Structure 1
Amino acid sequence: MLRSSLKMIQSNGNSLHNDSKIMVDEPAPNNHNGDQAKAVGISSESLENDSGSSGTSSSDGVKRSFFCWRWRSVEYSVFGLEICFAGLIIFVGIGLALGFLLVGINNERERTVLSVDNVVTSKASELQTAFSDYVVATAWIHQFATSGLLTRESFRELYLSVLATGLDFQAAEFIPNVTHADRAASEAEAEAYYAANYPQVNYQGFTGFEGGNCVPQQRSNQSFYFPVHYVEPVLDNAAAIDFDLYSSDSRRMTIDLVLQTWEPAVTARLRLVQEKEGSSAYSVLLLYPGAKNVTALEPRDLAILVIRIPALLERVFSKQDSKSLQNLKGTKIYLFDTTHNDRFPQFLGGVAPADDGSLRLLPETELQELKEQSSVTGDDELIFTMKELKFASSRWVMVFLVEKELELTTVIAGTFLIAFCSLLIGSWFACTVSRAHYITRLKADARREKTRNQIQNAQESARAERELNDFIAHEVRNPLSAALSALTFVDSAVSGLDKGDEQKATLLEDTRVIEVSLKYINDLLRNTLDLHCSQSGQMKLKTSQTDIRRDILEPVKSMLSRRHNEFEIVIDCPADLVAIVDRLRLEQVVMNLAGNAAKFVTVGYIHLRAAVSVDNKVEISIEDSGPGIPKEKRTTLFLKYQESLDTLNQGTGIGLCLCQNLVALMDGDLWLDESYDCGIPGFTGTRMVVKLNVSPIPPSEVVQSLKKMSKHESNDNVTSLLEPSKNLKILFVEDEMILRKLFARVVKRVYPEVEIEEAACGEAALEMAKNDQFDVIFVDQYMASANKTLLGTETVHAMRSAGVNSVIVGCSANDVRDTFMDAGADFFVFKPFPQTKSQVRKLFDRCAQLLR
């Protein structure tokens, strides 16, 4: 019945809220009309003008004057609107014309870039083909040289045959692998040949680079050599005869690569001795190891072609291509070697078409400089295009740099046409827009009136909600709290009747029924108000150091134990597990979850566990041996106003929703462990897990915090009536964990053998006093809790009614001495508690006198 009433209230509130939420955000509690107007896009001045014009006077003359003024303002603004919208059309037309111009320039540039890119792609393919021709020629040389028919004369004929194919190269060479044992014979053979056929050649034997010197010298003794033993033409390459290529670091790297891979390779750039000093004409060596022989561990002999980069480019770019490239003003073609350095590639060569159709060499430059040149444009568009090439083991880059004058005649004509058309359309559009604007103003007035009504409805809804909350908080909750407090005294009085009284059992049962009913209503009101505060963002957390066991779990256990349950309530929590949390809200969450469990458990247990998770976060779980939660209700378990799970249908359906909101407010997570099994046949059980996003405080930091709060104790030597060796047992009842720890620390300084127990609420203290004997009990008056808890005076009265004969000391910062004495306390002390040794001794001397 109660749930249906709540749902009906919610549906009515939602319908009213939806009516006011068509165009308006939910108003804040104290927003004025101006703020509401901003939510719907209406200025507060316009609302004030409208409300003032309609509310300050009700005479027909004032109304007629107002509407006439509105009409005249519209009529006088027509001409201005026409000019404004005409200007807007012209502005848009000019913008479109400029956009057309920019798009046309971009398309023309893309077309030019695409044409250049096609040329680059075609020439890159031709360059790859030309290089393949060189590789085939080198393979031909190697195959003939290793066939067993090689002589000086036959190598000369082979060179002329390769040259007849049209390939342009500087030299053809064959490099045998000569061991040191064969060096003398090889040098003698070469010396005799050149002396007989080329007397002008100064043969010096095997030469090479020695000791880092770049000038060829007589080659020192090595285990093997790779000399240029066969070379054609001889006279043009006399300096290279029997030069050991393995003596050069760069050539040695290429030879090693060829020996390892059995693949042709290209050396880094080199400048031939035939080239002029300062010339930008470079050459490369193409090394070919021959076809792979499975019986040989590595290739022995190499065939080489010396290729000049300008000759390679001339083979690709014929005279006909050169003339066609002249149409592209300022065309420049470059080759760079990126094999060993992608960031700073090595210049290989560059050419540009000359006026006579030939190609002229370009001076050496850097790739970065070419890129910078392409970023600076003048009247002509400077196009930079780059294509990567793969030559044997080397990676080259071919760069085209082209100046192209863009053809923009059509684009410029289209731009002027669009601008002219915008001028013609402007005047016609101004008239049309002015009429449409007038109609729009009439509709806007109607919408403004509607919006003002919506704002008023939203304000009324928010005000009604606030008044309802205030009424519940003041008119219902306060009398309910008073009734609960009075019921405690009635229960204590009834418990004190003689056992033979026949009405005692009936009266106790009646008080239990009244207590359960009042607490149910109190829990409902508290949960409803807290849920509203948490969802509206009005609830603020108050965090402090909290002992999870003493401040949270033990008070919850004591509250559940008062219900005379038939199941076991067990606490499993590490000692001194302290964290910085909102103690009241966390206790409220645990109490709600444990209270829900207590409704369903008939046999077995309720476990209140707290531990530190693997990620060093505090995790609390409430486990029970009840029937469990049906699977079909688990997906909507935390929604508001859910159907109750108990057989009597007494739940309100907001407890779990409130718990989830409170845990989320504390930056934590709440979930149902669906894999849990309580272990009791016929009962599945339920395990709710609360994981807080806080780490536990190490004991050393807790102690340090207590030290900061404590004052400097004096070292007074005051004689105490209480014997230091006496093992007193003290119970200290206080809701603040820090004050409990501080009290224990101060007392331990004076009386180390004293045993001190702690309780965070009156219910827990009452249960401990019934089960154990204490010499002295200190009880605080006001102890905050998420649930209704006993006051200090109520706790003292209940202890005396239960037969507790310990010395009871009332404590409070307020003057409630008489109230404590009437409840049964032996004496009263004001807070703060004693701090110096003399004050502590004086307090316990008074306790000692009462104990005697």
Structure 2
Amino acid sequence: VNATTRRDAEGKIVGVVGVAQDVTETTKHDRAVAAMANELRQLVDTANAPIFGIDVHGNVNEWNNKTAEITEFTKEEAFSKPLVSTFIVPSLRQSVHSVLDMALNGHETSNYELEFETKSKEIRYLLVNATTRRDDENNIVGVVGVAQDVTDDRKHSKELRDMQLIKSSQEARVETERNMTAYFAHELRNPLHAIDSALNSMPSGLPPVAQSLIESMQLCAAFMSSIMNNLLDVRKMEEGKMQLVSAPLSLESVVNKVFSMHLPSVRPGVSFCTKIDVKGKDWVLGDSYRMQQVLTNVLTNAIKYTKVGSINLIARWEDKCVVFECADTGPGIPKKEQKQIFERFVQRGGAPGTGLGLAIAKHLVDLTGGSICFESDPGTKPGTSCVIKMPLQKCSPPKKVDKNDELPIMEDVRYLIIDDHKINRSMMSRRLKKKINPNAIITEACNGEEALDIVAKQQFDIIVVDQYMEDAGGVMVGTEAVVEMRKMGIDSIIIGCSGNDIDELFKEAGTDWVWGKPMPPNGKILKQLRQGLATLQLRKGNRATQK
């Protein structure tokens, strides 16, 4: 209402005139606006997201409850304080200033990460959308930041990164160990290959003292070979590449071979006996080499710790399983050590060895679907019993080997031996001529490049090639040389020979088979060479027919 005085003709006040406006609806509207503003204020204050604002000078003029909770500064403590210099970590102040200046100039920013320093000096990470704040006339009066607390996500991401770094570091360490294992196995196998070839080419009928020395050296070589095989088997286990072959084998033969191999290692005064109770079920399908390896690894452990008393190796059938039991009178295995007895690189009492034998034995037994366990209670009585069960299928004995197959090859077979170590070439040549093929005609090459020059001019029946030949200045590895030979149309029987576990690489390159270092026993070499020479004749016949 506007109230105006009403006067008469003489100017005397005679009343009041009121000119009014009905503002009922306007008041309702203002109240509604005020209520809405209050509701928005409450929403901002109670929002589950940090919301804060600054004026054009960069001072805080908005600070909701969530922001106060995260930063530990109350609204009263934060208001009118410069946001950047008070709450942002020093390293980010300049960049945050730039972002806020851009917002104050109308250029809004989304998903910008701020690092707030709390009252207790902790760092909180906020992902902020900075929005320009304007008045009724569209003038910029400040900036509002709506944020998300990503501190836990950042910590989780950091933990994941740290875990990934640890995992990558562990994987790199494992790969380094694998490569080192392969390297040392190769480097040790080369001289061992020469020693083994020399021992296997010794003439028979030597004096007893000389024969005894040779047997001792063969035992030492076998022990070294066992250590290297264990190292390489660990790599196969890790890569899931260890496989078993299935062929007829004699349980009695396996046990007797293991017994003969380990008898010289038993301490004087310790009784070492075997008992084979297979009741006419001697022949089974299995992997003879791996079975010997399991028994060897278990027996080695028993021999190592048994200083007095006895060691007994028993083989018997139990339902559909072959059971091997190795019982000794050693000190026994403490209960606390039994839990880790099958772990890799575990050694007891500083005893010699790699600590791999039992881990490999368990892995091999597991591959057969069997079981292996130790029974020992040193607190009650000394001694340990290892029980191995393998579910194996009985089979008929194979045909007897023709004794003529064990005689040396008498033909004039032409060999090319490719190896960068002169002593390896020399010892292999000696073994071939002394024990395998007395009339062998042998040519040598020190690397793949030289070998390719030779095969371009001469023909050979058998080619034996090493893999790594850098010591002789060769750049080409053995598998590359084999590929080139096959491209040249070389029909020869090619045998890869390496101290590394690279059989598949050799086979893919085109070799007929692979020998490890040390080489196989003479009997196996004779058998393979006879098969190879027969295959070579077929190849030559097929080549002639095609022409």
TM-score by length of 2: 0.43
**Higher gyration radius (CA):** 1
Structure with the higher fraction of residues in strand conformation: 2
